[in-house]
Structure 1
Amino acid sequence: MTTSIEVISPGDVRTRAQIRRAFGGSPQGGICPSGDKGSVNLYSDPDVGEQLGYYDGWLAEEDELGPIFEYTGAGKSGNQTFDGVAGTGNRAILRHAEQGRTLRVFTRVGKVRGSDTKTHRYLGSFTLDSLEPYVWRKVHGEDGVDRNVVVFRLRADGEVRRDETDVIPPAEETGGEFVLFRPVTAALIQAGPVTSGNLPLPSQRARTGRKKRKPAPNAETSGTFVVPEAFGNRLSVRAAAAATVAIRREAELTQAYKDFLESFGHRTGSYQIKVRGLTSTLRVDLYDATAHVLYEAKGSNSREDVRMALGQVLDYSRYVTMEEHEGEPRRVILLPAAPTPDMYSLLERYDVHVVYRSDDGSFVGTAVPLSDTP
């Protein structure tokens, strides 16, 4: 005689003990992988996350593939990592596809009446976004110190519950702040390929109405200078072939030019932007803090990519402010080859410059440094 296991469907509220019987995992912790159940259970506690300066939840903004659920990685203080014991949970999320496991998300909703046993609502099954599985973000840690956290981008993989209370609140105020913090490099988090195998595209998405969650105390339009995460962090993810090739070229190009700038003593990074009214966080490709130059990189010099880069660099540059520099940064599009002459004419109208890589591997453009003096 076999014991039947209760089926848990999106929207159901259960205790962790009940969830473990169905999907396995440990009795505590936020990221709980289970080999025998083929699951990685992700527990989100809104109260804890909001105290630490971040939100897990749905982005109100959608792209062409639909909605994104953001889930912050493991580690309450210090820089989060994929390495060692501290990075065990984050690696379990990153490698869920190659290990044949499904990501399942639960959010805490209360307690069993008359006890301290917590209850969790099941949102459904997910997979990592196939083109951008995670991003690095600066937040204010539990110990009051700014730190880097990994924010996973999850796509619904089947039926999901999308409640209004799970939508990340938009930024309310407009402001800006420059903050430097310790860099995280590719060598620090990647001793080998971080993932292999396909990250499948989501198959179904459920939508419901929404209402605002309480905004974070510092939810405002702001720009923060951040040292770029591993530009190659998306290179080992195999998804739609054409898009993956473009992302790889863009990442390789950006990394090469970043190294080139740093060889001249320039301080380079990225720029993290929160915009009033948006729940998502914007991040530019490359920012030269020494010369006050903002770069938007593309993996090809096609007309479509140049036009997209133009819109992005004009948009982002409005928010990039530095105390040591006056006005907006110089705007530059970084390309793997020279664009067509008519694209040059278009960019000149908006005072946007071009840097491209020539056949011999050198970089060409008016923004390219020619000496050690910026």
Structure 2
Amino acid sequence: MTASAQVMNPGDVRTRKQIRAVFGGSPQGGICPSVDRHSVNLYSDPDVGERVGYYDGWLAEEDELGPVFEYTGAGKSGNQTFEGDAGSGNRAILQHAQQGRTLRVFTRVGKVPGSDTKTHRYLGSFTLDGLEPYVWRRAPGEDGLERDVVVFRLRAEGPVQHAAEDMVPPAKETTAKFVPFQAVTAAMFESEPATSGDLPLPKQRTTKTTKTKKPAPNPETSGTFVVPETFGTKLSLRAATAATVAVRHEAELTQAYKEFLESAGHQTGAFQIKVKGLTSTLRTDLYDATDHVLYEAKGSNSREDVRMALGQILDYSRYVISEKHEGEPKRVILLPAAPTPDMYSLLDRYDVGVVYRSDDGRFVDATTPRG
């Protein structure tokens, strides 16, 4: 605490007053934007999350882009939102790149000896993940009631501290419960670009039923049924890439299919899955609760995307169990156009169906090529 407050590197411990001298922000609160310092300071308190069962921190499971730090949005009880005064902090994170600000993360570590002044360790500077800036989860609030929370996915932007004590703990047990969805809208972002990437649109589905084998009970995982959020937001991109375009196409495709299924009277949703021993939370694209069908959507019909969708749906379907339906769900891949003929034989081998959108905009349910 004797080092100059004007110099701050990852791992340094400072009081909020010292942090404000360097990066600005308000004297209290968890999400603290600063216009003049071009910063959005994110304060995490491990005790707060642990009391209700969720955590901010590094995921142990890295992807091809490296590690992800998860940060839970603002709002201690009730559904979190991006709208109004209650959503101002969450908007500040979502729009940080558009507004020329850097996300900086601090975690509470203790107090100044002999006082009640809290101290915080600086983890470093971050930006939102370009393809999946945030996800929605069901989690309890301080009032003990389950609600929707936004979990931001942060990527390091410069040197960061990646310490063991900042890791999200792995799941120890599982619970399987049906949860109703409390709608949270983000219509305001349809006219306001936010940050890099596209918001993932939760998808929907519909199809025909087929008999499937009964799965062995899996005590290692939990599945929670949740209705998908309806975000149609387009985000401004720092750079146009094939990946971001595919994400946008997937969002548009699934939104259209969602509307198609709902017009047929189907109840749609998704599964939120925790796997014992893992720190990350899995979420399926689409689930048809009416017909017990699981969908995996992709933004293109390329060979690579079909193969990826096949692996994902085989993985997820093991954990999707319904009290109203027997056995595993029917597995279907949702595509923007028909796959190549040889992909049908691959999918048939694993009892996976295909729904694709035809040139005239209709959805075609097919397991063999149409000629």
Q: State TM-score, norm by structure 1.
A: 0.88
Q: 1:228 to 1:194 in 2, by over 3 A?
A: farther
Q: How many residues align?
A: 344
- Aligned residue in 2 for 1:310: 310
- Aligned residue in 1 for 2:117: 117
- Aligned residue in 1 for 2:55: 55
Residue 22 (structure 1) aligned with residue 22 (structure 2): yes
C-alpha separation in 1, matches of 2:332 and 2:238: 29
CA contact (8 A) 1:107 1:120 kept: yes
- Aligned residue in 2 for 1:169: 169
SS at match of 1:334: strand
CA contact (8 A) 2:300 2:336 kept: yes
CA contact (8 A) 1:238 1:244 kept: no
C-alpha separation in 1, matches of 2:229 and 2:197: 22
C-alpha separation in 1, matches of 2:231 and 2:294: 16
Q: 1:230 to 1:237 in 2, by over 3 A?
A: farther
C-alpha separation in 2, matches of 1:333 and 1:302: 12
- Aligned residue in 2 for 1:205: none
Q: 1:11 to 1:5 in 2, by over 3 A?
A: closer
- Aligned residue in 1 for 2:246: 246
Q: CA deviation at 1:179?
A: 1.7
- Give the share of equivalent positions with the same residue, in percent: 77
CA contact (8 A) 1:131 1:237 kept: no
SS at match of 1:123: strand
C-alpha separation in 2, matches of 1:354 and 1:54: 36
The range that moved more, 47-56 or 148-157, is 47-56
Q: CA deviation at 1:321?
A: 1.3
Residue 178 (structure 1) aligned with residue 178 (structure 2): yes
- Aligned residue in 1 for 2:192: 193
For structure 1, the 5+ residue unaligned runs are: 200-218, 368-374
CA contact (8 A) 2:170 2:278 kept: yes
Q: CA deviation at 1:181?
A: 2.4
SS at match of 1:147: strand
C-alpha separation in 2, matches of 1:299 and 1:145: 36
Pairing 1:193-272 to 2, within 5 Å after superposition: 193-196=192-195, 221-233=221-233, 235-272=235-272
The range that moved more, 133-142 or 226-235, is 226-235
C-alpha separation in 2, matches of 1:191 and 1:343: 36
CA contact (8 A) 1:223 1:272 kept: yes
Q: Which amino acid aligns with 1:353?
A: G
Q: CA deviation at 1:182?
A: 1.6
C-alpha separation in 2, matches of 1:173 and 1:240: 41
CA contact (8 A) 1:171 1:220 kept: no
- Aligned residue in 2 for 1:39: 39
CA contact (8 A) 1:266 1:289 kept: yes
SS at match of 2:178: coil
Q: 1:293 to 1:198 in 2, by over 3 A?
A: closer
C-alpha separation in 1, matches of 2:124 and 2:177: 37
Q: Deviations along 1:34-56, whole A, 9 cap, x unmatched? A: 01111110000000011122100
- Aligned residue in 1 for 2:153: 153
C-alpha separation in 2, matches of 1:194 and 1:143: 34
Q: Deviations along 1:124-160, whole A, 9 cap, x unmatched? A: 0001111111111110111121110110000000000
CA contact (8 A) 2:74 2:89 kept: yes
For structure 2, the 5+ residue unaligned runs are: 199-218
Q: Deviations along 1:246-277, whole A, 9 cap, x unmatched? A: 00111100110011000011111121111111
CA contact (8 A) 2:94 2:195 kept: no
Q: Which amino acid aligns with 1:299?
A: G
C-alpha separation in 1, matches of 2:231 and 2:253: 9
C-alpha separation in 2, matches of 1:227 and 1:184: 11
C-alpha separation in 2, matches of 1:198 and 1:258: 22
- Aligned residue in 2 for 1:299: 299
Q: CA deviation at 1:183?
A: 2.5
CA contact (8 A) 2:190 2:233 kept: no
CA contact (8 A) 2:132 2:197 kept: no
SS at match of 1:323: coil
C-alpha separation in 1, matches of 2:193 and 2:222: 31
CA contact (8 A) 1:356 1:365 kept: yes
C-alpha separation in 1, matches of 2:237 and 2:260: 26
Q: CA deviation at 1:190?
A: 3.3
Q: Deviations along 1:23-44, whole A, 9 cap, x unmatched? A: 1100100000001111110000
Q: CA deviation at 1:230?
A: 3.3
